[in-house]
Structure 1
Amino acid sequence: MLSLRSAWKTIGDARFDAIPASLSVSYLPSLDGLRAISIIFVIVGHILYTTPYGRYISGSTGVMIFFAISGFLITTLLLKEQVTTGSFSLKRFYIRRFLRIFPVAYLFLLVLLVINQVFALHIARLDFLMAFFYVKNLMTVYDTSWQTGHFWSLAVEEQFYFVVPFLLKYHYRTYIRLIFILLLIGPPISILYYHSHITGTTGILLGIGVDLFGRGITSILFGSFCAILMFKGMIPLQVLSKYRFLAPFLVLLVAVGHFNITVGGWQSFWMYANPLLAGAAVLLSLQPGSWFYRLLNIPFLKWIGVLSYSLYIWQQLFTNHQPWAHTIPHGDAFWVNIPVLLLVACASYYLFEKKFLKLKDRFHGPAKAVRGEPAPVHSMA
């Protein structure tokens, strides 16, 4: 067993000598299956959002797992390139992220501009601007639109993508310290915000602190940290493989945690327990041979996982507060909207997004990263 001092020395060393065997492949199909489970949580949570059953299932369950996958895969992608070439290209990374995220996101906003006029939704100009510039998470007090609400999580991820690769490349030890600091200061900020009933400017500042350090970023950071630990050889999957029933149990705990947030009011505990559980579930999903791994590799689930970003982007129009809810028969019925959502997501992915994905592939480094790079995720729950 490593002592705390030697463990810190190992983690803080910016050198990465080898790619873990379990991450040396170019494609991790089980993570697509896990994405599928995540997007199903989001869609079902949104369908039930305004019903009495909405308190029992939350889209945030899928969000937390999505975030953990994203942090894990982005860090894996960068470290694989670093091990293979001695460094990684920030320029290529940012170009790849732009080509994956922005085209369809801005297509959605363009379509929403038209829908806003046709159906007189009265979405404020500020909502469009916050979504366009990816600052929804910094200005939640002004967030009044359901239709652009999912850009909150996109904003969190974009800010992560902008800052973390730079820190990994040039200030690695600072990044490690940042992970520990944010994981330590998050719980007390959350406790103060949810249990002290502080109002006024202080309450607003605490709310901003929770938005910055509590909702999403902890899951991304923990997923990233799990990848670092794997590259350091400190998380042997062969040991975790002995606990094959642990992964679905952790996913269930994440769901129960969000039930407690909405019903039991244990926000300050579950907001920080869930990222840890979600990150552990990501690791456990990588165990070949387990029944959870086989479940995640069902072809239909993998296909839904591939479409998860497309489904995420467009689901906000079809799961609740549908613009056409009162203008066409059964306009708010899920059995009408969900099949249409699937068709729209397929058209979006195969006819629009894949053009940019082919262009994005030109900017991979010498070490081809894990296929199926993480797509941004949903936030409103």
Structure 2
Amino acid sequence: MASTVQAALHDPIQTHGRIEWLDGWRTIALLFVVVEHWNLLYHPEQSLYGKAGVFIFFAISGYIVTRLLIREKSRRGEVDFAAFYIRRAARILPPLLIYLAACLLVLGWDQALAAELARSAMFTCNIKLGPSDCSWIVGHTWSLAFEEQFYLLLPFAFASFAARRTLVLLLPALALVLLPVFLPLHWIGVSGWVQIYMLLGGGALLAWHEERLMPLLKRIPWYAALMSLVLGIALSRIPGGLVQKLTLPVAPVGILIGVFALPNVSDRARRFLGWRPMATLGLYSYTLYLWQQLVFMEGMFTQWWSQALAFFGALAFSAFSFRFIETPFRDLGRRLSPPRAAAQPAT
């Protein structure tokens, strides 16, 4: 385990702790979502590949967060749950709360809207709960809801398996994670829930067993990795039904293989994903993912040029947010959760 972390710390593809080709994947994922939502303004019944973009985000998220837990355990010898959640809150909440406040300011006070914004802030927009159901303006935060629910489970699972303890630690978190299965799911359905946890769990599994699994991925020819990605993206578009159930595992497995194998077996793909404009836009992807929903809200901007201007305005704000909001809050989260010294063995 220590060797895995040391390799990560000295990985030449990282800059200031970031894996640049993963930022490139964030850019591609974001573009899938943006094109989908822009297209919906003109063709409301036509779905493209926005879900594939969100699936890529899920695969990356499971991998990155597990890698951070591995690094922390290597340094301290255990997982600090409070520190983990402080850092996650500092990363996720400030841009989200600013976006929700802006929605209230732009759209005006309305009790139903306020209820939706509260649902989004509590990360429950992936579940249908009656009259306060999440509409377009916060509907995209269903993906954040799944991620935050996964974060309830991951540290407990990590600590349990790393220490080879019983699964008792997992039970409360597992109950919360499974709750959406017993309630109507918004946007994605139960089959989608399974695919999402395959992506989140698959990314986590790759990080946990990186020394074993990454060499296997590196044996895949670049064209096979590319075809795997294309197949996963294509199958992610299949609507709920029998065909989706029969092909259910193929989309997440294809995307996982493509995302993590392609930049490791193709220097050209690796350079493209790590290219400065690609990696830089990936840095802004979280805030831009939030704000593009307001840009492409029906009736908000009615001309293509006004939509384009609004989108570039959102991009400019995302760059500002990363520099002056997200980075300071991320640093604050680190200061509020400093790594404690690892316990010394008794002598």
Aligned twin of 1:137: 126
Distance between the aligned counterparts of 1:365 and 1:243, measured in 2?
41
Aligned twin of 2:141: 151
Contact 1:247/1:292, CA 8 A, preserved across alignment = no
Aligned twin of 2:200: 220
Identify if the C-alpha distance between structure 1 residues 141 and 274 changes in structure 2 by more than 3 Å, giving closer, same or farther. Answer: farther
Aligned twin of 1:325: 301
Identify if the C-alpha distance between structure 1 residues 203 and 132 changes in structure 2 by more than 3 Å, giving closer, same or farther. Answer: closer
Partner secondary structure for residue 162 of structure 1: helix
**Structure 2: stretches of 5+ with no match in the other structure:** 12-16, 342-347
**Structure with a larger share of its residues in helix:** 2
Q: Please list every run of at least 4 consecutive aligned residues from structure 1 whose deviation after the TM superposition is greater than 6 angstroms.
A: 205-209
**Structure 1: stretches of 5+ with no match in the other structure:** 1-15, 187-192, 194-201, 368-381
The reply on whether 1:116 has 2:107 as its aligned counterpart is: yes
1:47 to 14, 33, 38: 38
Q: Tell me the C-alpha RMSD between the 2 structures.
A: 3.5
Distance between the aligned counterparts of 1:157 and 1:348, measured in 2?
21
Write the letter of the residue equivalent to 1:350.
R
Could you state the TM-score of these two structures normalised by the residue count of structure 1? 0.73
Please show how residues 1-381 of structure 1 align to structure 2 within 5 Å.
16-19=1-4, 23-24=8-9, 25=11, 26-52=17-43, 55=46, 57-117=48-108, 123-139=112-128, 143-171=133-161, 204=184, 210=190, 213-214=193-194, 216-230=196-210, 233-237=211-215, 240-261=218-239, 266-287=243-264, 290-321=267-298, 324-325=300-301, 330=303, 333-362=306-335, 363=337, 365=339
Q: Could you tell me how far 1:20 is from its partner in structure 2?
A: 6.1
Partner secondary structure for residue 40 of structure 2: coil
Shifted more, 243-252 versus 108-117: the winner is 243-252
Query: CA deviation digits over 1:324-364, x for unaligned, max 9?
Result: 336xxx37853233212212222222232222122234346
Distance between the aligned counterparts of 1:207 and 1:344, measured in 2?
28
Could you state the TM-score of these two structures normalised by the residue count of structure 2? 0.79
Q: Could you tell me how far 1:131 is from its partner in structure 2?
A: 0.8
Write the letter of the residue equivalent to 1:344.
F
Shifted more, 251-260 versus 41-50: the winner is 251-260
Distance between the aligned counterparts of 2:217 and 2:186, measured in 1?
40
Partner secondary structure for residue 136 of structure 2: coil
Distance between the aligned counterparts of 1:275 and 1:214, measured in 2?
9
Distance between the aligned counterparts of 1:203 and 1:159, measured in 2?
14
Q: Could you tell me how far 1:286 is from its partner in structure 2?
A: 4.7
